[in-house]
Amino acid sequence: MLYKLRFNIYSFLFFVPNILVFNDAAKDWQLGFQDPATPIMEGIINLHHDLMYFICIIFIFVSWMLMRTLWHFENTQNIRPSSLTHGTLIEIIWTVTPACILLVIAIPSFSLLYAMDEIISPAITIKTLGHQWYWSYEYSDYLNEEGESIMYESYMIPEEDLNLGQLRLLEVDNRMVMPINTHIRVIVSASDVLHSWAIPSLGIKCDAIPGRLNQTSIFVKREGIFYGQCSEICGINHGFMPIVIEVVKLPSYISWISNKLNE
C-alpha cells in the first residue's frame, strides 16, 4: 500500500509539470541566484555562468602549473638552480592570452550593461522614494477627481504581526504593484540619506540619492511576489527596509489602480 502511495505521488509530480515553486526570496544558506523574472536578470545569470567556465579553466591550469613547479623545482630534485631569469616567448604568451580572454568577456558584458541602462518607451512610470527607514511609492500617471496622484508608504510588518506563511523581515503592509509584460520606468530618489532599491529576481539595484533622480527599467515576464531590501548601509535600521513587488495581470492591475483612486 505504501509503495502504491509513493508511486502515485511521484507519477503526479512527473506528469504535472506546471507545478513550479519559484525562488523569489532569500533562502537559508542560499549560495546561488534567485530565479530570474526579467530578461536583464536572465542575462546576468547567463553571463555569470559563461564567466565561471573561463574561471574554472584558468583555475585548473594555474593550479597544474603551480603544482608542477613545486614538484620539479623542489630543492632535492633541482640541486643546481637554473640561471634563466626571463623568456621572451613565455612573457608574450602570458600577456596576450589574458588580453584575448578579456576581449572575449567584454563583448557580452558591454551588451548587457547597455541593456541595463536602456530605458525603452515606458508605459508606466513609478517614483520610489527612500526614507529612514521605509519606502514610499507614487504613480503619477493616474489622477483622481481632485487631481491627486496615487501615493502611499510601505513599512515592514513587525514580527509579532506576521501571518502564517509570511516572511520575517521581508513582508510589508503596502506592496508595490505592477502589471506583467509591460515596460515600466522606475524613478528612484531619497529624502534623507543614501539608499539602494534592489530586487534580486528582477536584476535591479538602483541607488537612491537625495537631490538626484536615478531611473531604471523593468519588464517582468511572469506573475509573482518578488522580495528585495535596501542594499545601502543607510543607518541603524538599514536591515529593516524590505521591498515587495507584486506582479499581476493587466486586468488585476487596472482594478487595483481603480480602487486606489477611489480611496
H/E segment holding residue 58:
helix 39-72
**Which pLDDT score, from 0 to 100, does residue 166 have?**
87
3-class DSSP state for residue 254?
helix
Three-state helix/strand/coil letters over 76-143:
CCCCCCCCCCCCHHHHHHHHHHHHHHHHHHHHHHHHHHHHHHCCCCCCEEEEEEEECCEEEEEEEEEE
Structural domain contains residue 24: no
Structural domain contains residue 240: yes
Computed over every residue of the chain, the mean pLDDT equals 86
**Are residues 228 and 144 part of one domain?**
yes
Give the C-alpha distances (Å, rounded to integers) separating 87 from 67, 69, 83, 91, 152.
21, 16, 12, 6, 68
How far apart are alpha carbons 159 and 171 in whole angstroms?
9
Structural domain contains residue 17: no
Q: Name which residue leads in pLDDT, 184 or 27.
A: 184
3-class DSSP state for residue 160?
helix
> Residue 7 pLDDT more than 80?
no
Structural domain contains residue 33: no
**Are residues 243 and 135 part of one domain?**
yes
How far apart are alpha carbons 108 and 33 in whole angstroms?
19
**Which pLDDT score, from 0 to 100, does residue 90 have?**
84
Give bridge partners of residue 207 from the DSSP assignment.
196
Q: Name which residue leads in pLDDT, 29 or 257.
A: 257
**Which pLDDT score, from 0 to 100, does residue 21 have?**
67
Q: Identify the band that residue 72 occupies on the pLDDT scale cut at 50, 70 and 90.
A: confident
**Are residues 60 and 159 part of one domain?**
no
Structural domain contains residue 237: yes
Mean pLDDT lowest among 75-79, 91-95, 140-144, 226-230: 75-79
**Are residues 62 and 128 part of one domain?**
no
Structural domain contains residue 215: yes
**Are residues 108 and 201 part of one domain?**
no
* Domain housing 46: 39-77+87-117
> Residue 18 pLDDT more than 60?
no
**Are residues 160 and 232 part of one domain?**
yes
Q: Name which residue leads in pLDDT, 151 or 78.
A: 151
Question: What digits encode the pLDDT tens for the residues 166-176?
Answer: 899 999 999 99
What is the amino acid identity at position 224?
G
CATH code of residue 67 = 1.10.287.90
> Residue 14 pLDDT more than 60?
no
**Which pLDDT score, from 0 to 100, does residue 187 have?**
95
- Does the pTM surpass 0.85? The reply is no
Task: Tally helices (H) and strands (E) across the chain.
Answer: 4, 10
Alpha helices in 153-222 (DSSP H): none
What is the amino acid identity at position 225?
I
% of the chain at pLDDT higher than 70: 92
Burial of 92 (0-12, 13-18, 19+ CB in 10 A): exposed
Rg, C-alpha atoms of the chain = 26
Question: What digits encode the pLDDT tens for the residues 78-126?
Answer: 777 777 777 788 889 889 988 998 898 888 899 898 888 888 888 999 9
Structural domain contains residue 26: no
**Are residues 168 and 137 part of one domain?**
yes
> Residue 4 pLDDT more than 60?
no
**Which pLDDT score, from 0 to 100, does residue 15 have?**
39
Mean pLDDT of 229-245: 91
Number of folded domains that form the chain: 2
**Are residues 254 and 154 part of one domain?**
yes
